[in-house]
Amino acid sequence: MINYAQTCFAVTFLLVLGSIVVTAQDNVEATCQDFIEVAFEEFGQNCAGLENNSICYGFGTVNTTFANDETNGIPSTDLDILTVVGNQSLLFDADNNQVVESIQTAPLRPITGIVNDTLEATPDVEATAEPESATDVELWGLSLVYTSGNIPKQLDEPGIRIMVIGDVRIENAVPINKTFIPDTIIEVTVEGADLFTAPPDYRIPSTVIETVSGEFEADAISPDGEWVRVFYLYERSYALRATAWLQTESLLDNPNLGDLPTLGADYGTPMQELFLSMESNPDDCDGEQTSGILIQGVDGIETDIRINNLPLRLTSSVFIQIVEDDIFNMVTLDGIISILPDTEAEVFLIPGFLADYDASFCLDEEESLGIDQESNDQSVIACLDDSLPIIEPRILNNDELEQYGTFTSLPNNITKSVSSITVITPSGEGDAMAQIITSDETGMNRVNEYCISGSLPDYICDSTGN
Residue 161 located in a structural domain: yes
Comparing 186-190, 381-385, 401-405, 460-464, the range with the smallest average pLDDT is 381-385
Residues 307 and 328 in one domain: yes
Residue 245 and residue 278 in one domain? no
**Based on the domain organization, do 142 and 165 belong to the same domain?**
yes
User: Binning pLDDT at 50, 70 and 90, where does residue 136 land?
Assistant: very low
Indicate whether 37 belongs to any domain: yes
Are 310 and 240 found together in one domain? no
Closest Cα partner for 270 from 184, 168, 176, 154? 176
Whether residue 82 contacts residue 7, with contact meaning beta carbons closer than 8 Å, is answered with: no
For residues 337 and 319, give the distance between their C-alpha atoms in angstroms, rounded to a whole number.
11
> Are residues 24 and 138 located together in one domain of the fold?
yes
**pLDDT tens readout for residues 322-333:** 887 677 888 888
**pTM reported for the whole predicted model:** 0.85
Would you state the pLDDT for residue 7?
28
Whether the per-residue pLDDT at 46 is higher than 60: the answer is yes
* pLDDT confidence of residue 286: 64
pLDDT at residue 296 greater than cutoff 90: yes
Residues 6+ apart with CB under 8 A from 317: 294, 295, 296, 297, 332, 333, 334, 335, 407, 416, 418
Residue 212 lies in a domain: yes
pLDDT at 289: 80
| Residue 367 lies in domain | 9-177+268-395
* Residue with more model confidence, 38 or 251: 251
Band of pLDDT at residue 3, cut at 50, 70 and 90 = very low
With respect to residue 443, please indicate whether it lies within any of the assigned structural domains: no
322 in Cβ contact with 191 (< 8 Å): no
Predicted confidence at residue 65, as pLDDT, reads 92
Q: Are residues 172 and 223 in the same domain?
A: no
pLDDT at residue 127, rounded to an integer: 29
Q: Is there a single domain that holds both residue 170 and residue 208?
A: no
Q: For residue 402, is it within any domain?
A: no
For residue 370, name the pLDDT band (cuts at 50, 70, 90). very high
Report pLDDT for 193.
97
Q: Final residue of a domain: which of 341, 372, 395?
A: 395
Is 379 found in the same domain as 234?
no
Confidence band, pLDDT 50/70/90 cuts, at residue 416: confident
Lowest mean pLDDT across 223-227, 245-249, 377-381: 377-381
55 in the same domain as 163: yes
Domain total for the chain? 2
395, 418, 447: which is the final residue of a domain? 395
Residue 323 maps to a domain: yes
pLDDT of residue 27 exceeding 70, the answer is no
Q: What confidence tens digit (pLDDT) does each residue in 48-58 have? A: 999 999 999 99
**C-alpha–C-alpha distance, residues 112 and 119, integer Å:** 8
- Give the pLDDT confidence score for residue 76 in this predicted structure: 73
| Confidence label for 464 from pLDDT (cuts 50, 70 and 90) | confident
Q: Are residues 153 and 196 in the same domain?
A: no
Where among 199, 221, 250 does a domain terminate? 250
Separation of alpha carbons 202 and 420, rounded Å: 36
Specify the higher pLDDT residue, 122 or 273.
273
CA distances from 372 to 9, 99, 176, 180 (A): 27, 11, 11, 19
Look at residue 128 in the predicted model and tell me its pLDDT. Answer: 32
pLDDT of residue 322: 86
Domain assignment present for residue 218? The answer is yes
Confidence of residue 391 (pLDDT cuts 50, 70, 90): low
The reply to whether 69 and 215 lie within a common domain is no
Residue 448 CA to residue 440 CA, distance in Å, equals 12
More confident residue, 37 or 305: 305
List the single range of 13-17, 354-358, 417-421 with lowest mean pLDDT.
13-17
Instruction: Please tell me whether residues 83 and 164 are part of one structural domain.
Output: yes
Checking if the pLDDT of 108 tops 60, the result is yes
Residue 121, pLDDT score:
27
Q: Are 236 and 226 in contact (CB under 8 A)?
A: no
Q: Is residue 47 part of a domain?
A: yes
C-alpha span between 451 and 319 (Å, rounded): 24
What's the rounded Cα separation, in Å, for the pair 189 and 106? 51
